[in-house]
Amino acid sequence: MGKRDFSDQVVVVTGASGGVGAATAEELARRGASVVLAARRAGPLGEVARRCGDKAHCVVADVTKREDVQRLFEEAVARFGRVDIWINNVGRGIGRPLLEITDDDVDAMIRDNLKSVLYGMQVVTPHLQARGTGAIVNVSSLLGRTPLPPRAAYALAKAAMMSLSEAFRIELAGSHPELRVVVVYPGRIATDFGRNALGQRMGDSGKLPAEVLAAIGGATQTAEEVAQALCDAALNSRGDVYTQPNAFAGVRQYLEKQPG
């Protein structure tokens, strides 16, 4: 089956200056989308936009700030006339034992992984409702399904985002069933995300048991592999999407083994 086409679609991608966000932006552009790219780092963001071509527009913004998210939306509409799909990709990790987690750690995880998503949903949804179509795609992590030490604070923020997304699906189902709220769950990804985490590097997984590694995503995926799955999900999926084959089965098996 060929790659699904995004011609005539306007897609906003946050966290687009590197990693999965950059790979997603470039994959969308290859599939014909007009892309609006947001990140805090102007230099890398501009490089991604150049690789995306003439149908790309970049906005330097910190999406943990509501006013920046509003400005991002307004610039997207000013440039392309509308938004069809909004991808909340910004996130930040942490690797710290539970007893060492500080107030600042928790605040950072909620701000970066939850508030950025909440702001995106609140800003774009009235526009999608008025148009009667569209999708919001929130990029989570399998750690939101299988919380593990020393990733507890990160996992709590991703689990909260999952719950927020599910509640919003239920809310929209009654009034705007044509609007889609999709949550994408990658496992381990070969990017700089772990190296940019607070505390212990999240990429250091050597001390985790094999069954735990299996539960959080099996083999490591490239950013490009995740981007392809994410783009497919953005176009027509509903509900939860796992980027790796059999990932949901692994999560379910992991949960069934927990004491209860």
The catalytic site residues sit at: 154
136 pairs with which residues across the strands?
Answer: 86, 181
DSSP states along 118-166:
HHHHHHHHHHHHHHT--EEEEE--GGGTS--TT-HHHHHHHHHHHHHHH
What is the Cα–Cα distance from 27 to 177, expressed in whole angstroms? 28
What is the Cα–Cα distance from 260 to 257, expressed in whole angstroms? 9
What is the Cα–Cα distance from 212 to 196, expressed in whole angstroms? 22
Q: Is 177 exposed, middle or buried (0-12, 13-18, 19+ CB in 10 A)?
A: exposed
